[in-house]
């Protein structure tokens, strides 16, 4: 059949064809002969799922102005429409979406029967229902045009019709221009009639349309614009027909008229849902991320940036420009935006439920429970009092009971995730006040959800109290059912998930499907879909890999992409312009004052009664005053249910923004941690007069890759001193924007120990097993700690840990690792900045370890006497610190120490300009060097494993060659900023200033060695200017003022 089709596109109809084809060809030939119309029949033969492509291609090739498609339903004898072929509906929709020209969909009610068109038939009537917009401009048939306008008596006063933002001035101008052309033709053509009808509401509009049902053909636009069209019921069984098309084809609308629904071609991609949604999402992400970056110096949580971003994009700021609002956030797009936002919010509340550990709530002490109840009761009571004031002024006519509860919840709520983020940013999460705040906030969170469920049930469509009770009973039954069914299923899934292995995709998909199902059930009950997702999240087991896998798979997409859309959706509903006059602004101040007073005073007073210090009690009060996402959820539910009007909504959103914004600066000003007395922190270096004192070292690592090297270094450092060695092993973990990172911090113990448990992830198991085993087998005391912080402030945790434990040296991992070919590749560039900031602000000596396999075959033990440590000594305080550390290592029976001192050859001393820089090497420094070297020589007589050599050098090249001769060792120990004439003669390009000239030489690709390198910087009360300048290059600009 296809093969018969001609190349020129003409159909293959012949007299020998089927009867249908004969009728088609005869009809077109006869009409073409009798009329002046040129008809060219073509054929599209294709599967139905790609039929639209043939139609679109044909329209483009023939450059047509309109495609007319048959509706997928035909009329029965009783007047009802029934589906002919469902797949035709999909063809029509795809053509509407991708058509290169205007499109019409013809709903036939006998247009080709008795009502045939001839010049003699003057009773054929075409009625155009004109509301305005692109689609209503296209029809050009000159018969009856009925224009619908808003009655001036109700314009602007009716909530139903107060939607003029949907009808841009540009569209109105084009409508008037076309209508003027039509009116100009009226005197010349008596067959054209034009009428204008004023309407007050949707019901009146529908009745007027029924009056015109005695015509042959209705011509309507698919998407009519303007206030009147917006007021019509937008329920659409067939979206391809639009609201008017659906009205005219519904069974309730009695007419024999056919309907041609027209969609005008639009070349603006923002006229379509998908491109518009993409633009909206990109705009939201860019704006919120930029605001978050600008607010980061103030240590504000990201929720502040997202709330401000939503307000800026809404009618309060950018939305004042109607062209922007109609182009980027037209009302027709809000349904898609709200759907995406609530879809993301559903899964975010599921993640919040995963964070909330019921077991933790059961372990919460009475003090936290009392403080939480006080932090809820007083602001809730004050909120009820404030709501009475609002109902008497700006919220007249709202339902009293739901309004009182919504206001009480709004003022008494504490944002658990936002509070956790603030505590983590301020390094307070593992302090006593931080733990108390988190415990009280968790209780507050649960209480808020219970109160919100009560408020939703009371604010339903029905005023019957029995309905509210029924909703609460059904909600309680749902929770109980989940408690019975959920835990066994989740525990079964968790047990089948092996540690360190990917979680089965089936389990993840089943859980996410259950979240949607739970949301559907609670929404059907009449509470809200969010409750179902939250309850299901609480029931997910918090131990094991299953919950972690769910968070990893869902969190980035939800928190990073969908959640900001919810803030924008809220911002589009927030119009600050509604707060006008002294009364409204006074009410805003009243609401902010009431919220702050109730939370801060109530929490502070009860905390003081619980014997908390005044400073901590005040801090706790301000921390519990934090608002956030849950606040917006409450407000949006209240607004959707008609409990909160625009002005009340805007006032409470601003209250939430202000109270959260002031939390961080006030807590920072109130919280003054006690500084460690200088007299208590004496031993800040390894070089000391009394070497019998206990040596304390803080070793830092960020992955299990570093563990073997750290263990070997700790073993080498233990020496034989009576007081021994104490090591604090600090696991560096990044606190990302993920809420799961907050959960991770919240699990950390108060004493600084990490939260390692046997059922945690595999990496953590390896860490705890390694340290426990080593501590049992050696004489070294190891205290594992955890630093969980953003990378730009990680150095603060390291420095605070060093000060708190009074360590003599911090050992940091290098930010690069060695590849198989011997070259170094950057692991994480932000670790480089951490190292530099620690070097600049450290309260003790610092070592940076460049690992080349120190934790591999070259393990340290008493029987392994081949472990070689080489110290390259040039002079200065950093070299002395390296030498002192090496002398400590030499006490280990399994280590051979070689100290190589480099001196200027007397033959060139004073002659060579290259070496004539002796002012950098003070006599005092030389005296200290000699003193320490004398101690070394004294130890040599007691320890055969120590060797000492002196090498005379003439220039930098000779020095480099001598250093290469010692490459066959296991570990190089060098000072970061060596002093003296010899080292200054080295011409070494410094790619990594934190390693110094010698460290860069020993780690460069040209220096062939398998030895690891430990670069040491000795603590000085004030670093030398050269040392500071070496760290202040372009890559440290953002970190210069992070620590004081």
Residue with the bigger pLDDT between 622 and 944: it is 622
Q: Check: CB of residue 429 under 8 Å from CB of residue 303.
A: no
Q: What are the pLDDT digits (tens) for 565-612? A: 998 889 888 999 899 889 999 999 999 999 999 999 999 999 999 888
Is the backbone of residue 797 left (phi > 0), alpha (psi -120 to 50) or beta? alpha
Q: Is the dihedral of CA 374, 377, 379, 385 positive or negative?
A: negative
> DSSP letter at 562?
I
Q: What are the pLDDT digits (tens) for 746-778? A: 444 433 443 333 334 444 556 667 777 787 777
Percent of the chain with pLDDT over 70: 82
Mean predicted confidence (pLDDT) in 380-386: 91
Q: Check: CB of residue 641 under 8 Å from CB of residue 461.
A: no
Mean predicted confidence (pLDDT) in 456-484: 82
- Where do the CATH 1.20.1530.20 domains begin and end in the chain? 278-670
Q: What are the pLDDT digits (tens) for 53-74? A: 999 999 999 999 999 999 999 8
Q: Is the dihedral of CA 619, 621, 622, 626 positive or negative?
A: positive
Q: What are the pLDDT digits (tens) for 25-50? A: 777 888 888 777 888 888 888 899 89
Say if residue 118's pLDDT is above 60: no
Residue 363: other Cβ atoms inside 10 A = 10
Q: Helix axis angle, 400-412 relative to 432-458, nearest 10°? A: 170
Say if residue 348's pLDDT is above 70: yes
278-670: which CATH topology? Na+/H+ antiporter like fold (1.20.1530)
Q: How far apart are CA 899 and CA 946, in angstroms?
A: 8
Q: How far apart are CA 105 and CA 89, in angstroms?
A: 10
Q: What are the pLDDT digits (tens) for 852-892? A: 877 555 565 555 556 889 999 988 888 889 999 988 888 88
Task: Determine how β-strand 867-873 pairs with β-strand 816-818.
Answer: unpaired
pLDDT given at position 549: 83
Q: Identify the architecture of domain 104-267 in CATH.
A: 3-Layer(aba) Sandwich (3.40)
Q: What are the pLDDT digits (tens) for 306-333? A: 999 999 999 999 988 888 888 898 887 8
Tokens 């001192």, located at residue: 901
Is the pTM higher than 0.85? The answer reads no
Q: What are the pLDDT digits (tens) for 1001-1033? A: 888 877 778 888 999 999 887 766 566 666 664
Mean pLDDT score of the chain: 80
Q: How far apart are CA 115 and CA 667, in angstroms?
A: 81
Mean predicted confidence (pLDDT) in 923-938: 85
683-1039: which CATH topology? Rossmann fold (3.40.50)
pLDDT given at position 405: 87
- Where do the CATH 3.40.50.12370 domains begin and end in the chain? 683-1039
Q: Is 119 exposed, middle or buried (0-12, 13-18, 19+ CB in 10 A)?
A: exposed
């Amino acid at each position: 059949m296809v093969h018969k089709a001609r190349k020129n596109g003409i159909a293959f109809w012949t007299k020998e064809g089927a009867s249908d084809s004969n009728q088609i060809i005869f009809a077109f030939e006869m009409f073409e002969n009798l009329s002046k119309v040129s008809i060219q029949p073509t054929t599209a033969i294709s599967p139905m799922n790609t039929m639209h492509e043939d139609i679109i291609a044909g329209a483009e090739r023939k450059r047509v102005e309109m495609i007319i498609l048959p509706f997928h339903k035909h009329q029965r004898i009783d007047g009802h429409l029934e589906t002919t072929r469902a797949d035709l509906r999909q063809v029509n929709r795809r053509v509407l979406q991708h058509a290169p020209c205007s499109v019409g969909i013809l709903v036939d009610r006998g247009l080709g029967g008795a009502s045939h068109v001839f010049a003699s038939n003057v009773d054929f009537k075409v009625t155009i229902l004109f509301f305005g917009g692109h689609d209503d401009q296209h029809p050009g048939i000159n018969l009856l045009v009925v224009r619908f306008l808003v009655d001036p008596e109700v314009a602007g006063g009716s909530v139903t019709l107060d939607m003029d933002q949907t009808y841009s001035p540009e569209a109105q101008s084009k409508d008037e221009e076309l209508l003027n052309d039509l009116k100009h033709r009226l005197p010349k053509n008596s067959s054209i009639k034009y009428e204008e009808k004023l309407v007050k509401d949707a019901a009146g509009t529908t009745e007027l349309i029924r009056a015109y049902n005695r015509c042959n053909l209705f011509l309507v636009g698919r998407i009519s614009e303007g206030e009147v069209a917006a007021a019509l019921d937008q329920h659409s069984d067939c979206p391809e027909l639009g609201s008017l098309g659906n009205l005219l084809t519904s069974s309730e609308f009695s007419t024999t008229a056919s309907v041609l629904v027209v969609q005008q071609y639009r070349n603006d991609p923002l006229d379509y849902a998908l491109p518009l949604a993409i633009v909206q999402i990109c705009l939201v992400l860019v704006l919120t991320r930029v605001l978050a970056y600008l607010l980061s110096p103030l240590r504000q949580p990201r929720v502040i940036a997202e709330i401000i971003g939503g307000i800026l994009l809404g009618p309060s700021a950018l939305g004042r420009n109607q062209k922007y609002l109609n182009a980027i956030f037209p009302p027709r797009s809000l349904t898609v935006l709200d759907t995406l936002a609530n879809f993301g919010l559903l899964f975010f509340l599921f993640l919040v439920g995963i964070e909330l550990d019921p077991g933790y709530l059961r372990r919460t002490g009475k003090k936290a429970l009392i403080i939480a109840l006080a932090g809820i009761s007083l602001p809730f009571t004050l909120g009820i009092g404030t709501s009475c004031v609002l109902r008497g002024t700006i919220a007249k006519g709202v339902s009293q009971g739901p309004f009182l509860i919504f206001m009480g919840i709004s003022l008494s709520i504490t944002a658990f995730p936002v509070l956790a983020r603030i505590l983590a940013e301020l390094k307070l999460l593992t302090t006593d006040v931080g733990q108390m705040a988190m415990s009280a906030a968790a209780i507050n969170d649960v209480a808020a959800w219970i109160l919100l469920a009560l408020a939703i049930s009371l604010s339903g469509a029905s005023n019957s109290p029995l309905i509210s009770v029924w909703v609460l009973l059904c909600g309680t039954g749902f929770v109980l059912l989940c408690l019975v069914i959920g835990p066994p299923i989740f525990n079964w899934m968790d047990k089948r998930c092996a540690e360190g292995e990917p979680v089965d995709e089936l389990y993840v998909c089943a859980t996410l499907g259950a979240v949607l199902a739970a949301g559907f059930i609670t929404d059907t009950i009449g509470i809200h879909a969010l409750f179902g997702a939250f309850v299901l999240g609480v029931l997910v087991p918090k131990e094991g890999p299953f919950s972690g896998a769910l968070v990893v798979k869902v969190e980035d997409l939800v928190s990073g992409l969908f959640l900001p859309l919810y803030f924008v959706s809220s911002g589009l509903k927030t119009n600050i312009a509604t707060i006008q006059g002294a009364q409204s602004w006074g009410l805003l101040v009243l609401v902010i004052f009431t919220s702050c007073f109730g939370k801060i005073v109530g929490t502070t007073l009860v905390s003081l009664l619980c014997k908390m210090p005044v400073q901590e009690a005040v801090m706790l009060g301000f921390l519990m005053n934090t608002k956030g996402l849950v606040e917006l959820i409450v407000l949006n539910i209240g607004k959707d249910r008609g409990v909160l009007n625009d002005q009340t909504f805007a006032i409470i959103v601003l209250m939430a923004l202000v109270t959260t914004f002031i939390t961080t600066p006030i807590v920072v000003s109130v919280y003054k941690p006690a500084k460690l007395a200088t007299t208590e922190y004496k031993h800040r270096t390894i070089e000391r007069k009394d070497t019998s004192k206990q040596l304390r070292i803080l070793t830092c690592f960020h992955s299990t890759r570093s563990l073997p090297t750290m263990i070997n270094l700790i073993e080498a450092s233990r020496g034989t001193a009576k007081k021994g060695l104490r090591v604090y092993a600090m696991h560096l973990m990044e606190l990302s924007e993920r809420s799961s990172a907050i959960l991770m911090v919240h699990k950390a113990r108060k004493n600084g120990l990490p939260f390692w448990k046997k059922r945690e992830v595999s990496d953590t198991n390896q860490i705890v097993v390694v340290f426990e085993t080593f501590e049992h087998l050696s004489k070294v005391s190891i205290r594992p700690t955890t630093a969980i912080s953003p990378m730009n402030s990680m150095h603060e945790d390291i420095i605070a840990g060093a000060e708190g434990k009074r360590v003599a040296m911090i050992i940091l991992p290098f930010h690069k690792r060695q590849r198989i070919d011997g070259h170094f590749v950057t692991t994480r560039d932000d670790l480089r900045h951490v190292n530099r900031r620690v070097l600049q602000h450290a309260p003790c000596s610092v070592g940076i370890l460049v690992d080349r396999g120190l934790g591999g075959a070259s393990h340290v033990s008493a029987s392994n006497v081949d472990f070689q440590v080489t110290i390259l000594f040039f002079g200065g305080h950093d070299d002395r610190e390296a030498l002192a550390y090496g002398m400590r290592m030499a006490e280990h029976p399994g280590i051979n120490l070689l100290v190589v001192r480099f001196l200027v050859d007397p033959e060139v001393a004073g002659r060579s300009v290259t070496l004539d820089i002796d002012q950098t090497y003070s006599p005092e420094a030389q005296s200290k060097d000699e003193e320490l070297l004398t101690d070394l020589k004294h130890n040599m007589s007691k320890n055969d494993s120590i060797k000492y050599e002196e090498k005379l050098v003439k220039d930098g090249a000779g020095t480099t060659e001598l250093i290469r001769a010692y490459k066959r060792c296991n570990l190089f120990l060098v000072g970061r900023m060596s002093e003296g004439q010899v080292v200054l003669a080295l011409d070494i390009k410094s790619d990594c200033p934190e390693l110094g000239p010698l460290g860069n030489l020993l780690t460069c690709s040209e220096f062939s060695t398998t030895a690891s390198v430990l670069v040491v910087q000795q603590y000085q009360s004030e670093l030398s200017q050269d040392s500071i300048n070496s760290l202040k290059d372009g890559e440290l600009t953002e970190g210069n003022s992070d620590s004081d």
